[in-house]
A and B are shown apart, each in its own frame.
Chain A
Amino acid sequence: MKKIFYILPVVLIMVSCSKSQSIDNEELDHFISKLDDKSLEEIKEEMNSNVSQFESFSKFFESSFSNDIEIINKEDEKYEEEFKIDTSGIGKALHQFDNVEFTQTYEDYESQLEFSKNNSDSSKLLDLGEGVSQRFTPNKIYYHDGEVRTDSISNYDVDFTFDESWGKTKPIDSIDITYKVTYVKDYDVVEISVDNPTASYNGGEISLVKAEGNYIYFTMSDTLSAPVRIQGYNEEGKVLDRSGYSNNGVAPGEMESVFTEILGYLKKLQEKLNDDDFENTAEFQEYLKDNLSNLDFFNDNDGIFHRQYYYHGNVKSLKLYFEKDSENREIIFTARNYKPFNENDDLFVMETEDATVLLNNKGEQVITLNGFDGLENIGGNFYEDYNHFYYLNRTKKQLDTLLVYDIKALSNGLIGILPEQENEHYTLVTSNNIPIGSKSFWLLQEVGNIVFGITTDDKHYILDENANSMLIPGVTKVYDKQSDDRIMVSNTDRKIGFINSKGKLVIPFKYDDAKDFEDGLTAVKFNDTYKLIDINAKVLVDTEEDYINFFGEDDNNKRIYKFDYGKKSYNYKGELIEK
């Protein structure tokens, strides 16, 4: 309840600080309509508790809003590059989406999506230069149940930092998104200075009002579009580094009065509410609508926009770069669900204010569980929260609490349960909690998509989805990577060999040391030196080295084999790299 009324000052500030346009503002209307089901008493109580908080806030905001005007010593001046169109990053920007994933979570009957780039660059977006803008437009949403949606989706936010709302709670498999980069191809330059303080451009006017030390204040006609870039120059014509700025519909010095006015308005509202001046909520809402438009700060009648800039140097003139011509490039990429819906009968968890709701792949509500909080699916019909494990009993539509030590979901659909202690054997059950398989295992290990069951005597079994276990003879250790259909294994003599994904020993135990395969090649040690072999154990190169240092990477992220402290190196094809 308190939150709703708290929005009012925020809405007022946003309206006043951003555009200073008409009072017919969507946010404000939305706020007023939110009061529909509130009683006057509730509104009064909330107003009383929030006016004082806004007072504190406005004090903070006023004092932190303006920089100090100062004269900068010549030696302390900082400079930057003169503006130029830099499109060099665009090519890379267009290729940054080869592996984009999103996480989909569900809350209060809405899907929340957050995107991430899953390649070697940063998971966030590349930073593009001045005069370049980028935009994402979703084209198609492929839901897991087969629905493909194209209408009313273009405004969904492709955000690489925050969760954003993406409409209905229905699992999405993938999304086609258009990425469009727009950059300035040609521009006009308008210059104003202390000597020539006024310039006309495109039917509008730009006027320098004040230039003092590191500070410059000028106005622009409302009709002019915003410049791509504004740069400040010192008297020698060097481009100064900017330290701060403020753009407003309101003239400097009047900002304080905006807050005073909002506060005054809120206090007036508070007084009227406390004096019982309104019959009912509707009357109060009506008053809000009529009265807000009378506030001065919404009526920007001067037709000009105020800009103040601060620099690391004494600013004497400005250059404003206006876009004359622009060009676009665009690509379409596909983003995939990081944790896609597996089986058609899976359910997913949605938290609401008072319950945990389980929905099916169509987004239909199947089971509502009151009093559960922070429930997460482990796999199959198994869930956990902070304190307990649960099995979802679909027939009874209830969660059965499982008082066990641990539950582990495996990629082949099996569930391993440790009933009492860490130090005991996993028993296997199906996703429906039915015991399966005749063996229990000391450890369960997943390598790639293969599940290994390990017994206390170090015997390794491959487990299929029906918990059938196949012994891999001789193997006492499985290493943790699968690549090129090879998994490194060792035996009781600590000799290393390789199995394939079917568990067949395709390269026998004969190496003293080895690394996992990459690009069909790896390094192994036998007869005292390291050899590079292919996946059939054919020796391609004898490096004649007895010490391997580490793997490096070339420019294309391909492996480099380094020996003897980097004195001898081979590329990923096994070719000697010349110094």
Chain B
Amino acid sequence: MKNLIILLILTINFTFTSCGSDTLKYDFSKIKSLAETKALIAKMQLENKDEKVDSTSNFQEITLKGMHYAGVPVKSALITDNYTLLTTDTLNFSAKNLLESLEAEKGLTNIADSYSDDIDFFWKDETENKKLEIKLVNGKHLAAFGDKDYAELTINYKPTYTIPLANLHKKIKTFENQPKYILNIRAYDCLYDIILNDIIITESTNITEFNLNNYITGPNSSIKIIAKPSKSEGSKTFHEQSYFSATIINKSNNEPVQEIVKTALNGSNSIVFDTEFNSILPYYPIAWTDGADLRNDKNLKKKVIALYDKLGKAILAKDKQAINDIFYQKDFEMQQLDFDTNFETARNEWEAYLAIQTSSYKYTLANDFEIEFNDGGKLIYTYAKDKSDMIIFTGKGYDDTLNHYLYQPKGSNELKIIR
């Protein structure tokens, strides 16, 4: 039976060579998705019955004549489920011609870093990534590629998402001045809490850079920082060399906005620094500004659980519209506050939600948690006590957790995720 296996191996891996017409029949530059690639293979199959092109294989090399990319003849096409690799001939300035075609189609791009002697170019957009590798045969001659240089073009088609959350970048407004307020901290041997606009954004941390835009809702902001001894090696007092300095800068032009403090720390008590600063932005989010004061809401705990339960159900049910609705406002406001029009940000965020959805078969909620009230009770954050986080997604060898700032729009009886 081993002979049969050998025979099968011999017959499966074919490279097809055609002696058909030389006309340019199959244009890969018109292909925009894997489905269209499969359709093109089917066309080749129909028109070249003698060559037995297999339209079902997920790894196939085709060398039919008549293949081209916008008029540049393609010698072989390797087509897999993940990418298409086109290789041109080593004749007639094919590398130069292919580069020109791609520049006409996609615009100019810089030469990318390459580990080899090849010259690489890279184009990336919402539907596809294209990488062109120029293989120099005539010698390294950048000014004009030689006649024998050839090229390999690798194309990765991306899935298209119609869901609004994956297309946020189209909604992002841009402005002449787009400040990005950043808190920079330099400190030694201490931990600190940061409270911006009465919102505790972090506690007992030693992280040195914070994006403040996400917590700004108007032109005037307040910031409070509480520095505490680090308690390393059991110490309850500041080390004699402890110091703390904090400055707010505008990262869009790297100009300082406000110096908060620069001081040595001593004693055993926490030290509080607070100040106000001009937090002018061309756009202010609605965020929790119209939120209800939740401090006396007797049903708040139930509402928190109901929100995370709704999220868990949406993820397990793979209900994409429901997932979109739960996260849209948060993701939109955060991307707008970052003035980020890059298509990849929203796409990556959406694919992260999809990854949880694909990998999970169960979710678990925290039932015992502490509620922290911010900004006059309009914004809450919760700390799970009986679980590691508010919602845990579990799959086989997979886990992920989520926890967000929540608010309740006035007139509504339901909490919403906002940061």
Chain A interface (Cβ < 8 Å from any Cβ of B): 6-7, 9-10, 13-14, 52-53, 56-57, 60-61, 162, 384, 386-389, 403-406, 419-424
| The residue from B3, B11, B387, B399 contacting A53, defined by CB atoms under 8 A apart | B11
A contact residues around B11 at 8 Å (CB): 53, 56-57
State the CA gap A419–B388 with chains docked (Å): 13
16 contacts between A and B (CB under 8 A): A6-B4, A10-B3, A10-B7, A56-B14, A57-B7, A57-B11, A162-B2, A387-B361, A387-B396, A388-B361, A405-B397, A405-B399, A420-B394, A420-B399, A422-B399, A423-B388
Interface size on B, residues (CB 8 A): 22
State the CA gap A389–B361 with chains docked (Å): 11
- B97 CB, nearest partner CB in chain A, Å: 35
| The residue from B3, B362, B392 contacting A14, defined by CB atoms under 8 A apart | B3
> Does B398 belong to the interface (CB within 8 Å)?
yes
A contact residues around B387 at 8 Å (CB): 420
Closest 3 CB pairs between A and B?
A403-B362, A421-B399, A420-B394
B contact residues around A389 at 8 Å (CB): 396
State the CA gap A389–B396 with chains docked (Å): 7
- B73 CB, nearest partner CB in chain A, Å: 26
> Does B104 belong to the interface (CB within 8 Å)?
no
A406–B397 touching, CB < 8 Å = yes
A405–B388 touching, CB < 8 Å = no
State the CA gap A384–B396 with chains docked (Å): 9
| The residue from A7, A420, A422 contacting B364, defined by CB atoms under 8 A apart | A420
| The residue from A7, A57, A388, A420 contacting B392, defined by CB atoms under 8 A apart | A420
CB contact list, B169-211 vs A, under 8 A? none
A404–B394 touching, CB < 8 Å = yes
- B57 CB, nearest partner CB in chain A, Å: 15
| The residue from B10, B364, B397 contacting A60, defined by CB atoms under 8 A apart | B10
- A573 CB, nearest partner CB in chain B, Å: 46
State the CA gap A10–B401 with chains docked (Å): 57
Contact string, B329-371, partner A, CB cutoff 8 A, digits 1/0? 0000000000000000000000000000000011010000000
State the CA gap A61–B11 with chains docked (Å): 11
B contact residues around A61 at 8 Å (CB): 10
CB contact list, B1-44 vs A, under 8 A? 2-4, 7-8, 10-11, 14
CB contact list, B365-400 vs A, under 8 A? 387-388, 392, 394-399
With contacts A53-B11, A384-B396, A421-B392 known, what are 16 further pairs, Cβ within 8 A? Answer: A6-B7, A10-B3, A57-B7, A60-B10, A387-B396, A403-B361, A405-B397, A405-B398, A406-B396, A420-B362, A420-B387, A420-B394, A420-B399, A421-B401, A423-B388, A424-B388
- B387 CB, nearest partner CB in chain A, Å: 8
State the CA gap A10–B6 with chains docked (Å): 10
State the CA gap A7–B3 with chains docked (Å): 10
A contact residues around B392 at 8 Å (CB): 420-421
B388–A421 touching, CB < 8 Å = yes
Q: Which residue of A lies closest to B387 (CB)?
A: A420
B399–A388 touching, CB < 8 Å = no
State the CA gap A6–B10 with chains docked (Å): 13
A contact residues around B52 at 8 Å (CB): 52
Q: Which residue of B lies closest to A54 (CB)?
A: B11
- A236 CB, nearest partner CB in chain B, Å: 40
State the CA gap A346–B388 with chains docked (Å): 37
- A14 CB, nearest partner CB in chain B, Å: 6
B contact residues around A162 at 8 Å (CB): 2
* Central interface residue in B11, B361, B388, B396, by most chain A CB within 10 Å: B396
- B18 CB, nearest partner CB in chain A, Å: 15
- A351 CB, nearest partner CB in chain B, Å: 18
A contact residues around B399 at 8 Å (CB): 405, 420-423
A contact residues around B395 at 8 Å (CB): 405
A contact residues around B397 at 8 Å (CB): 405-406
State the CA gap A386–B396 with chains docked (Å): 8
Q: Which residue of B lies closest to A18 (CB)?
A: B3
B contact residues around A10 at 8 Å (CB): 3-4, 7
| The residue from A6, A14, A403 contacting B394, defined by CB atoms under 8 A apart | A403
